[in-house]
Amino acid sequence: MGKNVYSSEVKWAVVKDKLSSELTNREIMEKHGIKSESQIHTWMRWYRSNEIYRFDQPIGKQYTYGLGPDSASEDDKKERQLSHLKTENEILKKFMEIERELRKK
| DSSP per-residue string spanning 23-53 | S-HHHHHHHHT---HHHHHHHHHHHHTT-GG
- CA nearest 9: which of 87, 96, 93? 87
Would the pLDDT of 68 be above 60?
no
pLDDT band at 65 (very low <50, low <70, confident <90, very high): low
**Strand, coil or helix: 95:** helix
pLDDT at residue number 4: 76
pLDDT at residue number 29: 92
Please check whether residue 60 is in contact with residue 48, taking contact to mean a CB–CB distance below 8 angstroms. Answer: no
Is the pTM above the cut of 0.75?
A: no
pLDDT at residue number 60: 65
Report the percent of the chain where pLDDT is more than 90.
Answer: 16
Would the pLDDT of 46 be above 70?
yes
Mean pLDDT of 29-42: 91
Please check whether residue 40 is in contact with residue 18, taking contact to mean a CB–CB distance below 8 angstroms. Answer: yes
Please check whether residue 25 is in contact with residue 40, taking contact to mean a CB–CB distance below 8 angstroms. Answer: yes
